Amino acid sequence: MAERCAVLGIGQTKHDSERDDVSIAGLVREAALRALEDAGLEWADIDAVVIGKAPDMFEGVVMPELYLADALGAVGKPMLRVHTAGSVGGSTAVVASHLVQAGVHQRVLTVAFEKQSESDVMWALAPKIPFSMPIVAGAGGYFAPHIREYIRRSSAPDTTGINVAVKDRVNALKNPYAHLQMEDISFEQVADSPMLWDPIRYLETCPSSDGACAMVLGSESAAGSVKNPAWVLGTAVRSEPIGMAGRDEVDPRAGRDCAAEVYKQAGVTNPHRDIDVAEIYVPFSWYEPMWLENLGFAEQNTGWKLVDDGTTALDGDLPINPSGGVLSTNPIGASGMLRFAEAALQVRGEAGEHQVDGAKVALGHAYGGGSQFFAMWIVSDEKP
């Protein structure tokens, strides 16, 4: 990689179930303006815009980047639109970082969003395609069997998922941007919530959110004007087919390969020791222990122990999702970029009340499709 890349500015909207005070353009602009202000830059300083979001049917606008060119100051500039399912927020940041690392641009604005209240995600996910199995129950119905298989393999107690759900909602109380602010959240409240897709209870799922996230990424020389940039130590993406017989949906090889590549680039040999904090994509509570294993933070079938013994709590040895994670905020297209941005906030020491003390190296992780698309990056406060 020829050039170094750093995160110069970060912005996100207040996430909510319905941001009816803004249009789609207003939503993405809110995040973009905050990222520019954070970086101390103006629209004119930006060389290119890379935008990502999940399926266009989630708002009902075909290729909305065309309409958003004006709001994002892209007129006369290059604009790319990435779409890689749920991993898209992460993949979009990776594409933007490549433009800097390749030496094509000095400063790139990257934005991801979803405004779920404009349409109906359950409807969008449930088309009847001839000769294809419909996912009429939405994403939870698709992933529930994979979670059941994880519980069977690992013999995890059925309370681990509840513990994750409580932990992330408690963390979200320290994040003013988080959608869910459940001050009375408790183990009993989650345990007593309705079972939606066994073993996933209502309070073990992510919410539907409107929100956007933006980052300004820049080259080493562009980073000179920022007092505490987050340096990108590595980026990786991996994809595998959804329909291949014999692939492991519970512990996908694409996730393991992606982690191995990003660790190699970042010089991480023992992830649990070398990484201080991780923001990982957990839309259903059980995906925290599942991804802890897939990412190599825990041996196979033992990830649940790191949850149950408090290792992944905000004050634990390996804090996972101090922001509250996808379980507290889920503007789908932006959820991956929020993981990447929150990782960068941690190593910049700017995560506010949910700051992990002394965080130097952080992982951002996103996945999508049928547990088949993965995007990751590792950021540090130190220049590589």
Choices 32-40, 59-67, 266-274, 306-314 (CB under 8 A): range interacting with another protein: 59-67
By CB under 8 A, is residue 64 in contact with another protein?
Answer: yes
d(CA 326, CA 362): 17
Backbone angles phi, psi at 52, to 5 degrees: -135, 150
Instruction: From 15, 177, 178, 10, select the one nearest 93 (Cα to Cα).
Output: 10
> What is the pattern of x (binds another protein, CB under 8 A) and - over residues 316-355?
----------------------------------------
Region of 82 on the Ramachandran plot (φ > 0 left; ψ -120 to 50 alpha; else beta) = beta
Among 17, 18, 198, 242, binds another protein (CB under 8 A): 242
Q: Which amino acid is at 112?
A: A
Instruction: From 207, 237, 232, select the one nearest 217 (Cα to Cα).
Output: 232
d(CA 8, CA 111): 14
Among 66, 158, 270, 309, binds another protein (CB under 8 A): 66
Q: How far is the CB of 158 from another protein (least distance, A)?
A: 31
Per-residue DSSP letter, 38: H
By CB under 8 A, is residue 60 in contact with another protein?
Answer: yes
> In this structure, how many other beta carbons lie within 10 angstroms of the beta carbon of residue 383?
11
Among 23, 117, 189, 301, binds another protein (CB under 8 A): 23
Token pair for 331: 């503007």
> In this structure, how many other beta carbons lie within 10 angstroms of the beta carbon of residue 80?
17
* C-alpha separations of 223 from 41, 297, 318, 338 in Å: 11, 31, 29, 21
By CB under 8 A, is residue 59 in contact with another protein?
Answer: yes
- Give the total of residues touching another protein (CB under 8 A): 66
Among 40, 127, 145, 157, binds another protein (CB under 8 A): 127
269 contacts 128 by C-beta, under 8 angstroms: no
Q: How far is the CB of 365 from another protein (least distance, A)?
A: 15
Classify strands 107-115 and 48-52 as parallel, antiparallel or unpaired.
parallel
* Cis peptide bond prior to 199, omega within 30° of 0: yes
Judged by beta carbon, residue 88 or residue 172, the one nearer another protein is 88
> How many degrees, rounded to 5, is the angle at CA 241 between CA 240 and CA 244?
120
Among 12, 13, 101, 329, binds another protein (CB under 8 A): 101
> What is the pattern of x (binds another protein, CB under 8 A) and - over residues 190-229?
----------------------------------------
Q: How far is the CB of 369 from another protein (least distance, A)?
A: 5
Instruction: From 335, 345, 381, select the one nearest 90 (Cα to Cα).
Output: 335
> What is the pattern of x (binds another protein, CB under 8 A) and - over residues 128-147?
-x------------------
Report 72-91 residues binding another protein (CB under 8 A). Answer: 74-85, 91
Token pair for 286: 């059980």
Judged by beta carbon, residue 63 or residue 195, the one nearer another protein is 63
Buried b (16+ CB within 10 A) or exposed e, 322-350: bbbbbbbbbbbbbbbbbbbbbbbbbbbbe
By CB under 8 A, is residue 118 in contact with another protein?
Answer: yes
Q: Across the strands, what pairs with 376? A: 236, 365
Report 259-288 residues binding another protein (CB under 8 A). Answer: none
Choices 145-153, 174-182, 244-252, 292-300 (CB under 8 A): range interacting with another protein: 244-252
Choices 197-205, 315-323, 340-348, 368-376 (CB under 8 A): range interacting with another protein: 368-376
First to last CA, the chain: 12
Choices 160-168, 245-253, 297-305, 307-315 (CB under 8 A): range interacting with another protein: 245-253
Among 141, 316, 349, 369, binds another protein (CB under 8 A): 369
Token pair for 272: 């649990």
Residues lying near another protein in the complex (CB under 8 A): 1-2, 23-24, 54-70, 74-85, 91, 94-95, 98-99, 101-104, 118, 124-125, 127, 129, 236-244, 247, 252-254, 257-258, 369-370, 372-373
